[in-house]
């Protein structure tokens, strides 16, 4: 049996519908992606791995369901098991002004959803790395303990950040309560970089691959800015109309970007550790 026929059988078993055609999709660094057309007319996306960590796809499915229930523009999971996740297919379009403004309003509405605590009921994943989500009493404690320190240690161990620079990042992590105004926990996408925003042919911007948890809403917006989201000024303006941001949020963007930069340093090395250190130096 070829790989594609095995994939078709798996989806047929999960969805109870015959698969008409399959096609591999390029672009994923972690998962294999396959586009499938079903006999009932639907087109779906299968994300799979031969030996994923326990709970890997269940964690993503749980996050997508949480965000969908809060009104976020995410594909709601169709099926999940230990080795794969099946989602509705999103036909790609282009980043329009209308889609950007709708994304800003949608994201603001999601961030207004109350969360019982910072963190989540279960740990998750960020890329290939475990993502701790144990609850904390304050955002400063949560962000330092579960978003900065674990990936700073990993980056240091692989030589992706200089020890002196790592000490600067750690010092900033110890001052978060003084640097960022506390807000109630908001439901976050949690990994909201440009690559996880799909501009759909239907005129809507869809959010994929979440690491959903309760956090500080500025973190999602800071990650959108990290690698340059098209139409970002329109997104932010529409967001601020619905859920105005606290004064000085622009000056705090770098603090919230420490987490994704350290994750990239821990996973890929390169210059991400240096970039995190340069940001940290500005807050001492």
Structural contact between residues 34 and 48, judged by C-beta atoms closer than 8 angstroms: yes
Q: CB 185: neighbour CB atoms within 10 A?
A: 22
Q: Work out whether the CA dihedral 163, 147, 56, 218 comes out positive or negative.
A: negative
Q: What are phi and psi of 155, to 5 degrees?
A: -65, -40
* Angle value at C-alpha 42, between 40 and 46, nearest 5 degrees: 120
- Catalytic amino acids? 191
Structural contact between residues 4 and 34, judged by C-beta atoms closer than 8 angstroms: yes
**Three-state DSSP class for residue 257:** helix
Residues making up the chain, counted from first to last: 284
All residues at 6 or more sequence positions from 234 whose CB lies less than 8 Å from its CB, including other chains? 97, 100, 101, 104
Structural contact between residues 168 and 280, judged by C-beta atoms closer than 8 angstroms: yes
* Helical packing angle, 163-173 and 272-281, nearest 10°: 50
């Amino acid at each position: 049996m070829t790989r594609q026929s095995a994939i078709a059988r798996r989806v047929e078993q999960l969805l109870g519908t015959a698969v008409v055609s399959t096609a591999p999709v390029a672009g994923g660094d972690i998962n294999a992606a396959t586009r499938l057309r079903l006999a009932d007319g639907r087109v779906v996306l299968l994300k799979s791995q031969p030996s994923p960590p326990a709970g890997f796809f269940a964690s993503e499915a749980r996050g997508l369901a949480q965000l969908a229930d809060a009104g976020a523009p995410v594909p709601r999971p169709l099926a999940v098991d230990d080795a794969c996740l099946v989602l509705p297919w999103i036909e790609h379009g282009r980043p329009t002004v209308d889609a950007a403004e709708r994304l800003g309003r949608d994201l603001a509405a999601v961030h207004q959803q109350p969360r019982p605590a910072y963190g989540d009921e279960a740990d998750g994943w960020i890329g290939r790395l475990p993502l701790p989500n144990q609850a904390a009493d304050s955002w400063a404690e949560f962000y330092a303990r579960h978003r900065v320190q674990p990936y700073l240690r990993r980056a240091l161990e692989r030589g992706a950040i200089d020890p002196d620079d790592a000490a600067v990042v750690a010092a900033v992590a110890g001052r978060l309560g003084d640097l960022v105004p506390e807000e109630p926990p908001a439901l976050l996408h949690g990994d909201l970089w440009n690559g996880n925003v799909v501009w759909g042919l239907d005129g809507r911007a869809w959010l994929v691959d979440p690491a959903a948890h309760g956090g500080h809403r500025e973190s999602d917006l800071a990650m959108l800015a990290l690698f340059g989201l098209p139409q970002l000024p329109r997104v932010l303006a529409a967001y601020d109309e619905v859920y105005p941001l606290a004064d000085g949020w622009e000056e705090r963007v770098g603090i919230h970007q420490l987490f994704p930069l350290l994750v990239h340093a821990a996973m890929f090395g390169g210059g991400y550790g240096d970039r995190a250190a340069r940001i940290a130096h500005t807050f001492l």
